Amino acid sequence: MGQHDCCYLEHMPLSSASELLPETSELDIKSILLLDDDVELSDALKSVLESHNFVVTTVGDGGEGLREVMQTDFEAIVCDLMMPGMPGDMFYLAVTKVKPHLADRFVFITGHKGNPKVDEFLESIDPVVLYKPVATDELVRMIALVMRNRKQQ
């Protein structure tokens, strides 16, 4: 996924995000893992995502996230890059080793644009990334994009 996908979606109206989201039913619940050490932000994003009928599991660092990933194949993983313990880049690398099929389900969020370590990591994997402060409608669109692209594979 390149920058062109991101730029295209910036101009997409919010109503289009729901058109991208796969149909869900009680038997087809879409689960999201949300990793962020900012509890207030996590709670706010969780509320927004749950309003879009996602089941959201929140954790505060990559170590906790890895335990969750070992139990569940999440539909999408929203991952902060700078966290205590195991940061987002290390979490991503660990997930790609134990469950490589989850690598294309990541949406990274960070407030550290311009940080050489963050930029180098992001350039090495060409991910879907959002910069804080995260617009909730943009987050929903990016998750929809990840899910749609996965379905097309």
Quote the domain boundaries for residue 111: 3-11+29-152
What's the whole-model pTM score?
A: 0.81
- Confidence check: pLDDT of 49 > 50: yes
What CA–CA distance (Å, rounded) separates 10 from 61? 28
Contacts of 28 (CB under 8 A, 6+ apart): 22
Residue 41, domain member (yes or no) = yes
Q: What six digits make up the tokens of 7?
A: 């730029």
Looking at residue 74, what DSSP letter applies? -
Q: Which of 3-7, 62-66, 116-120 has the lowest mean pLDDT?
A: 3-7
Residue 22, domain member (yes or no) = no
pLDDT computed for residue 10 by the predictor: 36
Residue 119, domain member (yes or no) = yes
Residue 145: CATH number of its domain: 3.40.50.2300
Q: How many domains does the chain have?
A: 1
